[in-house]
Amino acid sequence: MEYQDLLIKPLYPVSYILSKSLGYLRLVRPANLLTAVADILAGIAISGFLHKAYTNYLDLLPVACLCLATIGLYGGGVVFNDVFDASLDKQERPERPIPSGLITKTQAVILGSYLFLVGILAAFTVGRVAGFIALSIMASALVYDKWGKHASWGPVNMGLCRGLNLLLGISLMEPVLQRFTWIAVIPVVYIAAVTAISRGEVYGGNIKTLRIAAVCYALVYGTIAVLAVANGRLLQASPFILLFIYMTNAPLIRAMKDPIGPNIGKAVKGGILALVAMNAAWAAAFASLPYALTILILLPLSLLLARAFAVT
């Protein structure tokens, strides 16, 4: 027997494994995952956990668990988004992993379910409140994926997922969570506006929708500024707020001038990636400058990933 006959041949070629792995990565939208982590870190800043409860590095374990939880929850949500949209994507975005045949629907369902499970279990390791918020995020995401996306109330539904995600970070300090539950309205308004804009991503947008989005954006960064003033941190938060304003309004203004599909897509992409800047502004308004800068580090990473993987 020849020596070559004794070698175990791989079941799949390396190229197949790489393409499959890239397909799975495209499903979970890596750039977006970082914005979800930024939500958690902003929530932790609002909670005051780093000032009141953090004494050594072991105390950061709940922070790591919540970051893992949001990765699982957001990842599961966007995977099921593509599962439910497979038929539509076959016509409008045939290059996506499921309609292209790179990833089967069954494989996507398994991946999404696993991510949801990881997210929920990681949240429950932090506490019951965090666990129930995680369950609410999963339910909201699935309702949006299945029904909300094409309904008039869909943008608010999508915003609710982000609002709950911010509360998931705040849940590390339950008394603060009770005090600041209302703050979830801000990301709800913001993401509802971004989601409403995204409905014109394929065939072009509506000027009225874009103007309403501009008002919603102003409400969001105005609220952050007011809270920064209330906390005596306006000077510290101002650079982050200004960056947030630039990232959201620059592509939005271009879309207003010419609301064609590509411009709408850039406005949506800018709105999503600007979440990191918004969360850094939250952190600067409630916590220290170094902590806000730590969150902002996620922005170049997210921008880099956005070049390789779709955001919307």
pLDDT digits (tens, 9 = 90+) for 215-249: 999 999 999 999 999 999 999 999 999 999 999 99
Count CB neighbours of 167 within 10 A: 24
Q: Which domain holds residue 153?
A: 29-305
For residue 166, the model assigns a pLDDT of: 98
21 domain-assigned: no
8 domain-assigned: no
Residues 163 and 161: their CA atoms lie apart, in Å, by 6
| pLDDT tens per residue across span 247-260 | 999 999 999 999 98
Q: Is the pLDDT of residue 203 over 80?
A: no
Tell me the pTM.
0.91
Which residues lie closer than 8 Å to 36 by C-beta, 6 or more apart? 70, 71, 73, 74, 165
Confidence of residue 202 (pLDDT cuts 50, 70, 90): low
276 domain-assigned: yes
233 domain-assigned: yes
33 domain-assigned: yes
Which residues lie closer than 8 Å to 170 by C-beta, 6 or more apart? 43, 44, 46, 47, 176, 177, 180, 183
**Token pair for residue 167?**
């509360």
- What 3-state DSSP class applies to 160? helix
103 domain-assigned: yes
Q: How many domains does the chain have?
A: 1
What is the domain-level CATH number for residue 34?
1.10.357.140
Closest CA to 89 of 26, 36, 139, 33: 26
3-class SS shares of the chain: helix, strand, coil, % to 5: 80, 0, 20
Which residues lie closer than 8 Å to 240 by C-beta, 6 or more apart? 277, 280, 281, 283, 284, 292, 296
Q: Is the pLDDT of residue 64 over 70?
A: yes
Strands (E), 6-50: none
5 domain-assigned: no
- What 3-state DSSP class applies to 260? coil
183 domain-assigned: yes
For residue 92, the model assigns a pLDDT of: 81
Residues 67 and 175: their CA atoms lie apart, in Å, by 21
Q: Are 202 and 262 in contact (CB under 8 A)?
A: no
Tell me the mean pLDDT in the region 90-115. 93
| pLDDT tens per residue across span 5-18 | 444 455 567 777 88
